[in-house]
Amino acid sequence: MLWVPIPPEKTESAPASSAPGWLPAFGYRPLSRSSVGEVGYNGCMNRALFLDRDGVIIENRADYVRRWEDVEFIEGALRALAVLSQAQIKVILVTNQSAVGRGMISMEAALLIHERILKEIDAAGGRVDDTFMCPHTPQDNCLCRKPKPGLFLQAAGVHRLDLAQSICIGDALTDLEAAHAAGVGVRILVRTGRGAKQHTLPEARTLPPFLVFETLAEAVDHFPPSFLPDL
């Protein structure tokens, strides 16, 4: 496990977190089938596919994913991740998990759930090269909670990513905002999870251009050959 702490910004107006002290964001790098080198393949910087977790890979829950029984994979998501496992790209999850900071679930429990999700992805032939998770609440005013770009920038530093040549897929406008702030070149909203409602919000019309697909599987099916050269 790789911990990359980003302490909350110190402001007089920011209320104290309900969690004991500030919790660092972290990157969790599981063992995987990935053949992509840490310093890039062919001597180049890596391209990445950034994925939100809840609402893109598994179903969102209004009361948060707090136990394994809450996990339900979205139709086609595991197949899409299996397709992506064959490509020379980094597959990186960037996820807000404020249930930890709210004291609704322990970090240990959150990690155990996430590990089981990764095992299911691996068993289906997919891979995830790394995960960057923000456990803070909005009131913590941290640097990593989307729509701030901290998770993306951490990942770029760890994996030597070319953000301008990378893609982000999320189900919330905050995913797209964070990706844009980090310089991610292509941003996609899927209509699973919160996506259908988020797409109708007035704020959606004020964001830089983004693509919309029904699901992660549909988005991957429409990736250009240049992004998935091995498929």
Calpha distance 218→108 (Å, rounded): 33
Residues 65, 106 contacting (CB under 8 angstroms) = no
Residue 52 designated active-site: yes
Token digits of residue 121: 């992805």
Phi-psi map region of 103: left, alpha, beta (phi>0 left; psi -120 to 50 alpha): left
Provide φ and ψ at 92, rounded to 5°.
-125, 130
The angle, 0 to 180 degrees and rounded to 10, between the axes of the packed helices 150-159 and 173-182 is 50
Q: Which residue bears the tokens 């969690």?
A: 19
- Of 54, 122, 129, 171, catalytic: 54
Q: In what helix (H) or strand (E) does residue 131 lie, and over which residues does it extend?
A: strand 130-134
Active-site residue set: 52, 54
